[in-house]
Structure 1
Amino acid sequence: MAGALSPRHRSLFPDLREWLEGGVPGFPAVWAAAAGAHPIPIEISEEGGQYVLRAEMPGLDPEKDIEISAEGETLTVKAEHTECREDKRHSEFRYGSFERSVRLPAPIPEEGVTADYRDGILTVRVPQPEKKESGPRTIAVRRTG
């Protein structure tokens, strides 16, 4: 007998990547695109005391087409990809407005956030807050009343 099929085990909680990327479990990207939501593929990592977000955004002019904003712990990337008015027989390129928000584990600081665009990849670097080492300590108890 050939190998038996085993049931696919699913976690009760969404995958961390889906959570970070703001995806909806069980809602394929194909249907999201058809519904007008244009996902921006991203990857998030931690490098040298920074959160680093990389986003695939080919064919854009970073000075005109990309806008990045921060509020609290949320970093938002917006882009507008306009179609060139050329006669085309066929095109599978995506045009329109794109938006992606990512919630980071700490508030985004006012200073030190940088963004670079190279070869179709947007890289945003956000400084992580300094981790304060706290060892055991004694807390005084005051008598009141």
Structure 2
Amino acid sequence: MALVRWEPFTEMDSLRREFNRLFDDVLSPNVRKTNGLTFVPAAEMEETGDAVHLKLEIPGMEAKDLDVQVTSESVSISGERRSETRTDEQGVTRSEFRYGRFQRIIPLPSRIDNQNVQAEYKDGILRLTLPKMEEEKHKVVKLNLGS
């Protein structure tokens, strides 16, 4: 049998990570719990020289049920997926669908011109084209590396 040196700080670090994960799950402002399950639309963001392109996966909803608000620094998406009520007297109905309200606030990497945002919702995918403000496109920052 090989002897292994016990490192108490490694175990404490592992415990710290688990507590951080637990608090992130509970206190995250972008997540809303519904019946013990988390419903957060998946997002994909791409930044180009002229715009920020944001794509969100929100299947099973109609455009009229979504509330999208855009500021120059963030995008807020909220909505509610309503459950379909069915009465089935002959057996058990099981559902893995998630219903309820959700909200997600996504901070943007650049200031955008929220007056000229383009949106498209098709096949459960919300696509937003967020043009950058003119001063952000040509912004140059000089770094002082001298002592």
Question: TM-score when scaled to structure 2?
Answer: 0.62
1:116 aligns with 2:120: yes
Shift, 1:56, TM fit? 0.9
Change (3 A) 1:108 1:135: closer
Structure 2: 5+ residue stretches without partners: 1-19, 143-147
Contact kept? 1:40, 1:55, Cα under 8 Å: yes
Runs of 4+ in 1 over 4 A off after TM superposition: 27-37, 133-136
Q: What is the alpha-carbon distance in structure 1 between the residues aligned to residue 119 and residue 48 of structure 2?
A: 15
CA RMSD of superposed structures (Å) = 3.0
Unaligned residue ranges in structure 1 (runs of 5+): 1-24, 137-145
Contact 1:70 1:108 in 2 (8 A): no
What is the aligned length? 111
Q: What is aligned with 1:132?
A: 138
Structure 2 equivalent of residue 57 of structure 1: 58
Alpha carbons of structure 1 residues 77 and 134: separation in structure 2 relative to 1, 3 Å: closer
Matches of 1:127 and 1:68 in 2, distance apart?
Answer: 16
Higher-helix-fraction structure: 2
Query: Aligned partner of 1:91: which letter?
Result: S
